[in-house]
Amino acid sequence: MKQIDNYINGSYIPPVSGNYLENFEPATGKPYSQVADSGPNDVEQAYQAASVAFPSWSKTSLEERFLIMNRIAEGIERRMELLAVAESIDNGKPVSLARRMDIPRAAANFRFFATAAMQFASESHEMPGTAINYTLRQPIGVVGCISPWNLPLYLFTWKIAPAIATGNTVIAKPSEMTPMTAYLLGEICTEAGLPAGVLNIVQGLGPSAGQAIVSHPGIKAISFTGGTSTGAHIAATAAPVFKKLSLELGGKNAFIVFEDSDFDRVVSEAVRASFSNQGQICLCGSRIIVQESIFEKFTAAFVEKVQQLRIGDPQDENTQIGALVSEAHFHKVSSYIALAQSEGGKILTGGNSVKLSGRCTDGWFLEPTVITGLSQNCRTNQEEIFGPVVTIQSFKDEAEALVLTNDTRYGLATSLWTRDLSRTHRMSAAIQSGIIWVNCWLLRDLRTPFGGVKDSGVGREGGWEAMRFFTEAKNVCIAY
Ligand code: NDP
């Protein structure tokens, strides 16, 4: 069985404890590799390597960083097929999705921030006749990047790329459920000429390896993407030692459909927004709210399209719905379907586990599920399910749509469908979320700020926001 070791100081090394965890393939329900079960000793090794690498990497020219990061992007692209298959095996997502979205985006992350490093500028402010102030933005030192299992290489590299572009050295931890693509990234970085110790990848569990990164006194900034309760725990750990934090957390996103929207397009996009990656994207629209004048028509068309989605072996090119990431997650999502029914919800389609034949007999597959008839304040409409389960509600007018949209503890993303320009502006200003998509979903210009409000987190990623996060600003005031 393949062993997934840590990547520290440019080499693959086993965990200090010698212990490994079983890594399961969600589509088969069987272990297929063993992943290093790291802890504080491994994080310390990584920290030593990162500290030694920092002085030289932080002084490496921007051109050199640009060239290395571009070679990493090319290395990812050269291994597109290998990485897409690895990601699909690890995560249960359709290989076609990994090939179309996750892996190209991982390469784009390195390319984008390689270029950003070359263009990053800081401000100067003149006090006329008195002084000139300039802002010096310097790398922080050794930083930690912790990412979840749902978009494994995509989110992992979204953090690592700006951190190294700005001259930091990194200790990064992927989820222990999806370690394979992060593991493969190590050799890509070595091949691209990234100096040893600039990126260190520590595999293992959140409470041991992750916690050791968060609580390490030498690691001065943490960029974390994951669940809201884990984010709260990390914030509590980091606050007394004043670490810089970026927290990208959960969501319960509304997908708002007005009667004047482009009907065919909105139906198709609602299916994509609900069930891409089995609904396991933080930005998925898990609450569809539809104007009552088209509620029946929309619901019928939506359900019909959902029933056409092909559930199958993620390795099959034609599969649209793969497996859920783990047995525990499968049971968690299933329990929400039972909860929705006990809360008075009516299942319009789905609701059952799926038994596939062949190698996937024991995989964790669930039908895409659409539920209606629930009140806004029930748990199903308030808690993040993070699976192929959506609810549909109706609204009368703009005011009610706004109330329903904002009535959760989360504020990550909203998708708004209307042709009314004034309404677009009014609602965008009033909606409490960090991202508002109008007549689209999951469209990203990497230069824009990315992140949530309320319990969806603090901090912004993307573009200059990420470059600023990974630097410390110093003001130099020079008197005339
Ligand atoms: P978790 O919060 O469980 O885990 C995220 C990462 O943190 C994993 O690598 C995990 O390790 C690690 N971790 C867990 N406990 C600790 C700890 N005490 N200290 C340090 N690290 C720790 O989230 P999931 O992996 O279950 O991901 C799903 C969640 O992520 C959803 O809530 C989703 O909305 C959110 N998410 C948010 C996004 C955003 O941009 N806002 C994007 C994508 C997902 P391990 O897995 O080994 O436990």
Q: Which tens digits make up the pLDDT trace of 120-148?
A: 999 999 999 999 999 999 999 999 999 99
Distance CA 174, CA 346 (A): 37
The pLDDT score that the predictor gives to residue 1 is: 87
Closest ligand 1 atom to residue 461 Cα is 40
Give percent helix, percent strand, percent coil of the chain, each to the nearest 5. Answer: 45, 25, 35
Residues 200, 49: contact at Cβ < 8 Å? yes
The pLDDT score that the predictor gives to residue 463 is: 93
The 3-state DSSP class for residue 251 equals coil
Task: Give the confidence band of 320 by pLDDT, cuts at 50, 70, 90.
Answer: very high
The catalytic residue among 248, 269, 384, 461 is: 248
The pLDDT score that the predictor gives to residue 257 is: 99
Q: Where are the alpha helices (DSSP H) in 166-320?
A: 180-192, 211-215, 228-238, 263-275, 295-307
Q: Which tens digits make up the pLDDT trace of 1-54?
A: 899 999 999 999 999 999 999 999 999 999 999 999 999 999 999 999 999 999
- How close is the Cα of 418 to the center of ligand 1, in Å? 34
Residues 402, 432: contact at Cβ < 8 Å? no
Tell me which of 223, 225, 450 to substitute to probe ligand 1's pocket, judged by most ligand atoms within 8 Å of the beta carbon: 225
- CB proximity list for 340: less than 8 A, separation 6 or greater: 347, 371, 374, 378, 380, 389, 391
Q: What domains appear along the chain, each with residue ranges and CATH number?
A: 2-249+456-479 (3.40.605.10), 254-449 (3.40.309.10)
Ligand 1 is surrounded, with C-beta below 6 A, by 146-150, 155, 173, 175-177, 205-207, 210-211, 214, 225-227, 230, 233-234, 248-251, 282, 384, 386, 412, 452, 456-457
Q: Which tens digits make up the pLDDT trace of 87-118?
A: 999 999 999 999 999 999 999 999 999 999 99
The 3-state DSSP class for residue 447 equals coil
Q: Which tens digits make up the pLDDT trace of 65-82?
A: 999 999 999 999 999 999
Distance CA 123, CA 371 (A): 51
Q: What is the mean pLDDT of the chain?
A: 98
Residues 326, 291: contact at Cβ < 8 Å? no
Closest ligand 1 atom to residue 251 Cα is 34
Q: Which tens digits make up the pLDDT trace of 434-450?
A: 999 999 999 999 999 99
Minimum CA distance residue for ligand 1 atom 37: 249
pLDDT over 90 (residue 387): yes
Distance CA 249, CA 409 (A): 12
pLDDT over 90 (residue 378): yes
Average pLDDT over residues 236-250: 96
The pLDDT score that the predictor gives to residue 392 is: 98
- For residue 35, what is the enclosing H or E element? strand 30-36
Angle at 210 between CA 114 and CA 154, to 5 degrees: 35
